[in-house]
Structure 1
Amino acid sequence: MFKRTKYCGQVSEEDLGKELVLCGWVHRVRNHGGVVFIDLRDREGIVQVVAEEKTYPQAYKVADSLKSEYVIAVKGTVRNRPPGTENPKLKTGNYEVLAQEIQILNISDPLPFPVDEETHISEELKLRYRYLDLRRESMKENLLFRHRAYQVVRNVFLKHGFVEIETPFLTKSTPEGARDFLVPSRLHPGKFYALPQSPQLFKQILMVAGFDRYFQIVRCLRDEDLRADRQPEFTQIDFEMSFVEEEDVMSFSEELIYTLFSELLGIELKRPFERLSYTSAMERYGTDKPDRRFGLELIDLTDIFKNTEFKVFADTIKAGGVVKAINFKESNLSRKEIDELTQFVQSLGAKGLAWIRVEEGKLNSPIVKFFSKQEIEELLKRTNAQAGDTIFFSADQRETVYKILGNLRLHIAKKYKLIDEGKFDVLWIVDFPLMEWDEEEGRFVALHHPFTSPKEEDIPLLKQALETSNIEEKKKLISKVKARAYDMVINGYEVGGGSIRIHKREVQDLVFKLLGISQIEAEEKFGFLLKALRYGAPPHGGLAFGLDRLIAIMRSLDSIRDVIAFPKTQKGVCLLTGAPDYVSPKQLKEVHIKEME
């Protein structure tokens, strides 16, 4: 067995005339009668190996028996390719290796799908044979890109004096948000560990301990109902800083993202990143994760139609709702296309979709007859409508309108290819509400998490809210309280979120009370953190980036599964290993769990 002296993809001009030993997989093999050409592939790329019958007959004989994905070792001499046969698509395309000896290290069965070309392969097949899928050039590059991102991230943190510290994987269940994955304890019958949803509590405790700049590239786990592009286990770039305010955390975060884009993509993002308030984002885009690479902003028309004769709009406004619209400019939509968009919003729970098609000299719509001349004039002026435009309306309670039009603008942009795919739109969303009222649970819930600090000037409002027993007055007061939180959004995806944390015990107690968390419950769930806050906790804050999503965006990929080595399906199943799976009765008995009937 030969010992490799160089990677295939690293063969270069400096190797001309040298004898090398290469190891890898047979990417392609071609016999041209007396000469066999082998494309030999490894992690770093492909190089052409030539076996000549006249020169080295034994090597030629072995080469002639090769098939795709055989694992081989080759000893040979590097030479220039003959003029006119160079391959500019390969970084080794000017060179080839004349094989003196070839050894077959292992053979391969016929593959379930080709790895030497980028053909469509079903998700199930790719995940079942993930080790083959990862041999494909695109997948290999995704993981190598991710590897390089890790190095850039660590270098930036080390440059700024951060310390990398690991936090526990077996910890206490503190159910706030998604469900925990639970691990039964063998040594403590009836008790369970929880796998961490994030290192949030531990990194705050590290600040109390005096490690004023912590970071970790960490796996997190959430047992939540999976959506199309979520994973039960995912990776965060997690960090925390002491003696800081929002500007410090956001400025460092910008440098980290700027450096990643600069070093890995050669893209210089414009700094400082633009900031948009939560309220403005919702009003203009219907979401706190806006994609601004296209127009279709939401336009408020409530004041125009407050006295309208159109009953749908009038009744909505009287009930405290709003009327908003988006103008799909120069769309020239057919009635069939409008009907398809109506079906889309109905799938979101809308009763229908009011519309006006602007044509030369007239407006085409069944609702125009209900509008006064003044209402039409003001509508056209505010929406900047011209012939060829189509205006879509939503009239409902504000949150419902956000949902309908926010999703509709994104659906239209994707369907009609309005998005500039080569652009990276990066912004901060700031000034979030601290809490919101949850109708189903009948209580206030934290918009981020219960350890997010309110703005200093808003703390008196929290105290007033706690003192009043009138729920409507309480809602009114709390709606004015802003969080010291910040989310980074790229191309319509939240890639990172964080906040300045509560570091004073009395403020944390106040927030817990308003969230309906009793003192007993708070001690039971978060007692170790609350105790730590009594021993000189410094002001601190941090942020966590979703590494999988960030890498997928940088690679212009739709799915985070393409940047994770061994992902789960949408149902949380690992098709490669068969997890989750049943365990033996003996194993269940050891952790004090009864078998299912």
Structure 2
Amino acid sequence: MYRSHTCGELRDSHINTDVVLSGWVHKTRDKGFVVWVDLRDRYGITQLVFDEDRTSKELLESARNLGREFVIQVNGSVIERASKNDKIPTGSIEVLVKELTILNTSKTPPFTIEKDTDGGEDLRMKYRYLDIRRNPVKNNLIFRSKVAMEVRKYLSQQGFIEVETPYLIKSTPEGARDFVVPSRMNEGQFYALPQSPQTFKQLLMVGGMDKYFQIVKCFRDEDLRADRQPEFTQIDCEMAFVEQEDILNVFEGLTRYLLKEINGIDVDKFPRMTYDEAMKKYGNDKPDIRFGMEFRALTPKGGTFGFDIFDSAELVVGISVPGCANYTRKQIDALTDWVRRPQIGAKGMVWVKYNDDGSLNSSVNKFFDEAALLDMATQMDANPGDLMLILAGETHKTRTQLSALRMELAQQLGLRKSNEFAPLWVVDFPLLELDEETGHYHAMHHPFTSPKPGQMELLDTDPGAVRANAYDLVLNGNEIGGGSIRIHDKETQSIMFKHLGFTPEEAKAQFGFLMDAFQYGAPPHGGIAFGLDRLVAILGGQETIRDFIAFPKNNSGRDVMIDAPAPIDTAQLEELHLKLDI
């Protein structure tokens, strides 16, 4: 028996009990006549004691020779600790060691295994198996497991069946780039790793599995960022014989259940907002509604502003920042420099201070008198003490720039509180997006999304106006889930493919299996997929997903621990009918 108890289990009630513990040496403290060792495992830390009065010389010497991260087993008795430590659950006891066995030695780790470590991110990713021993990462993985178990519990109680779908599938032209896998047995042909189990879950609906879910790995060969990895995990769900309202109700229920079970928070309201409203009020389709600073478009009172930058702009829009009229010129200049960065791309910013005494001054005083500034304040719902920040330019770009500024200010002002949760449904997305480079439309979600009822005929006359029967669930400014009601008949799906630029031959070659299935009694159906990595991070009070993934990739898509991707030898290439010209 390697252990009778864990290192986080022992309490006062165990005093005078003989125990066996195993774990890693966290720290040693040698006072000459006594040696203390902190023994750590996944469950906590227990202090071991070796002293010259109660411990043999050989055992005391062995304790002195223990290195950090040695794996050891001890037999001993639980005794009351003389100097108690109220910072750990086992802090009132210690174990007087009678026997010590070294199960394995350890090299000195390249960084300290502590909550606040001296290891940089690259070093910790290289030695991720050591990083996992640190409480922050360990606890994040335990937290992720708990969330996944609660998801399964809720969906199972709602009658969903978990079904696994294939990982080796067919490459399709929609969405991001596929990761492809060469087939040894079929020369010159390739599988793709799934970006989503989309078509398979629709086929399951045709097969009568009317409530499906799967916690599934998906793969996209695209540029990375803090909340994106080349392989990620989805909570993938589909339901048959449903309308949009049915799906929203079920997955409001899931979100409400998780917030209660995981965070102990009751959330009653799940407001809904159209895509157009979200873009107009917040400049993006996943707004953080935990705080205000809604956009306000400005219009001139007499038909013209008399200020060329505003008059030549497609949109003049601003936000009112509560209580910030006392910002110094240095602080405002820093914000102006921030929006001028290439990542944001604004050419400049107008500011107006609505002072506590009711007076107004601005960066454009020579163009606007106080009456004009007061009219701006009225249009922007500003109050004395507020700072108004205004951008002007092309509509979409200006909204995007102001949205980034709004989020930056919220971060600086401490308005994005990790223990507050504000869910939001965004609905009525455009069905199609115009690619400005090619001039062609592509599906905003995917080509299987149904248009809103009664809008199919608009595809021929005004495709950009067609709204999708689609919905995203946003939590704290992050999209955590998205889905739609699907097309479920061959004729409608054929029309959609045509408008996306597929010839009938191309549609049949790519999606013939799905079109054929629709001819055998496909029910009305729809679904949603949650990003588990992102959901877990937000529930855990963070927005970066990497520390909630056991073995993540870096920003270049590399696993620096195992050094992947890596070349393969010539024999493997030949077996796969591949040849690399280097």
Q: In which range does the TM-score fall when normalised by the shorter chain?
A: over 0.9
1:308 aligns with 2:305: yes
> Is residue 560 of structure 2 the alignment partner of residue 572 of structure 1?
no
1:357 is matched with which residue?
353
Q: CA deviation at 1:305?
A: 7.0
Kindly indicate whether residue 496 of structure 2 is the aligned counterpart of residue 498 of structure 1: no
Deviation at 1:189, TM superposition (A): 1.0
Give the deviation of 1:552 after TM superposition: 1.0
Moved more, 487-496 or 392-401: 392-401
Q: 1:95 deviation in Å?
A: 2.5
In 2: Cα distance, 1:354 partner to 1:521 partner = 51
Residue 68 of structure 1: aligned partner? 68
Q: Which residue of 1 aligns with 2:507?
A: 522
Q: Out of 457, 462, 482, which is 2:467 matched to?
A: 482
Q: Within 5 Å, which residues of 2 pair with 1:233-382?
A: 233-268=231-266, 270-302=267-299, 304=301, 306-316=303-313, 321-331=314-324, 332-346=326-340, 347=342, 348-359=344-355, 362-371=359-368, 375-382=372-379
Q: Distance in 2 between matches of 1:517 and 1:344?
A: 43
Residue 589 (structure 1) aligned with residue 582 (structure 2) = no
Moved more, 251-260 or 447-456: 251-260
Displacement of 1:160 in angstroms is 1.4
Secondary structure of the residue aligned to 1:23 is strand
- Residue-pair matches, total: 577
Residue 106 and residue 400 in structure 1: after superposition, are their counterparts in 2 closer, same or farther (change >3 A)? same
Which stretch has the larger CA shift, 393-402 or 366-375? 366-375
- Name the CA distance, whole Å, in 1 between partners of 2:445 and 2:13: 56
RMSD across aligned positions (CA): 2.0
Q: C-alpha displacement at 1:272, in angstroms? A: 4.2
- Residue 172 of structure 1: aligned partner: 170
Q: 1:488 to 1:51 in 2, by over 3 A?
A: same
Q: Which one of the candidate residues 91, 105, 111 is aligned to 1:107?
A: 105
Q: Give the corresponding residue for 2:28.
A: 29
What do residues 259-311 of structure 1 show as CA deviations (whole Å, max 9, x unaligned)? Answer: 2222222222x224122221111111111111122222110113647432222
Cα 1:592/1:6, change in 2 over 3 Å? same
Question: Is 2:509 aligned against 1:538?
Answer: no
Identify unmatched segments of 5+ residues in structure 2. none
Cα distance change of structure 1 residues 303 and 500 upon mapping to structure 2, 3 Å threshold:
farther
Moved more, 165-174 or 224-233: 224-233
Counterpart pick for 2:389 among 392, 401, 408: 392
The alpha-carbon deviation at position 572 of structure 1 amounts to 0.5
Q: C-alpha separation between the residues in 2 aligned to 1:76 and 1:370?
A: 83
Contact between 1:287 and 1:406, CA under 8 Å: does it hold in 2? yes
The answer to whether the Cα contact below 8 Å between 1:304 and 1:379 also exists between their aligned partners in 2 is no
Secondary structure, counterpart of 1:369 in structure 2: coil
* Long gaps (5+) in structure 1: 467-473
Match of 2:437 in 1: 440
Q: Deviations over 1:117-137 (max 9, x none)?
A: 413531111101111111111
**Superposed displacement of residue 241, structure 1:** 1.0
Q: Which amino acid aligns with 1:285?
A: Y
| 1:245 and 1:500 in contact (8 A); partners too | yes
How far off its partner does 1:424 sit?
1.5
Query: Is the Cα–Cα contact under 8 Å of residues 227 and 534 in structure 2 kept in the other structure?
Result: no
CA contact (8 A) 1:450 1:511 kept: yes
Cα distance in 1 for partners of 2:84, 2:259 equals 32
Distance 1:361 1:142, change over 3 A: closer
User: What is the CA–CA distance in structure 2 between the aligned matches of 1:520 and 1:557, rounded to whole Å?
Assistant: 47
Taking the aligned partners of 1:261 and 1:386, their CA distance within structure 2 comes to: 35
- Secondary structure of 1:541 counterpart: strand
Change (3 A) 1:115 1:156: same
Residue in 2 that maps onto 1:190: 188
* 1:546 shift after superposition: 0.7
CA distance 1:560–1:449, shift in 2 (3 Å): same
Per mean C-alpha deviation after superposition, the further-off stretch among 352-361 and 249-258 is 352-361
- 1:166 deviation in Å? 0.9
- Give SS of 1:482's match: coil
Corresponding residue SS for 1:392:
strand
- Please give the per-residue CA displacement for 1:148-191, whole angstroms capped at 9, x wherever unaligned: 11211111121111111111111100131110001111111111
SS at match of 1:63: helix
Residue type matched to 1:281 in 2? A
Evaluate the alpha carbon distance shift between residue 284 and residue 305 of structure 1 in structure 2; reply closer, same or farther with a 3 A threshold.
Answer: farther
Distance 1:576 1:159 in 2: 39
Q: Paired residue for 2:141, among 106, 124, 143?
A: 143
Instruction: Tell me, yes or no, if the aligned pair for 1:356 and 1:363 is still in contact at 8 Å.
Output: yes
Matched position secondary structure for 2:107: coil
TM-score under structure 2 length normalisation = 0.94
For 1:18 and 1:383, the matched residues in 2 are separated by 70
- 1:199-229 alpha-carbon deviations (Å, 9 max, x no partner): 1111111111111111111111100122343
**Mapping of residues 86-105 of structure 1, within 5 Å:** 86-105=84-103
**Cα distance in 2 for residues equivalent to 1:442 and 1:501:** 26
Question: Is the 1:226–1:572 Cα contact (8 Å) retained in structure 2?
Answer: yes
Question: Following TM superposition, by how much is the alpha carbon of 1:48 offset from its aligned partner in structure 2, in angstroms?
Answer: 1.6
The 1:247/1:333 distance shift into structure 2, 3 A limit, reads same
Counterpart mapping for 1:413-452 below 5 A: 413-452=410-449
CA-CA distance at 1:234 after TM superposition = 0.7
Counterpart of 2:322, as a letter, is K
Distance, in Å, in 2 between the alignment partners of 1:155 and 1:366 is: 57
SS at match of 1:459: coil
C-alpha change, 1:483 and 1:66, in structure 2 (3 Å) is same
Q: 1:12–1:151: structure 2 CA closer, same or farther, 3 Å change rule?
A: farther
1:457 match: 454
Please, what TM-score do these two structures have when normalized by structure 1? Answer: 0.92
User: Is the contact between residue 183 and residue 189 of structure 2 (CA under 8 Å) also seen in structure 1?
Assistant: yes
Deviates more, 1:69-78 or 1:340-349: 340-349
**Distance (Å, rounded) in 1 between the aligned partners of 2:465 and 2:302:** 27
State the AA in 2 paired with 1:394. Answer: L
Q: Quick check: 1:254–1:271 contact (8 Å CA) kept in 2? A: no
1:470 equivalent in structure 2:
none
Matched, 1:559 2:544: yes
Deviates more, 1:97-106 or 1:113-122: 113-122
Q: Give the deviation of 1:588 after TM superposition.
A: 0.9
* Contact persistence 1:308–1:372 (CA under 8 A): no
Tell me the equivalent position of 1:81.
Answer: 81
Secondary structure of 1:119's aligned partner: coil
Matched AA of 2:55: Y
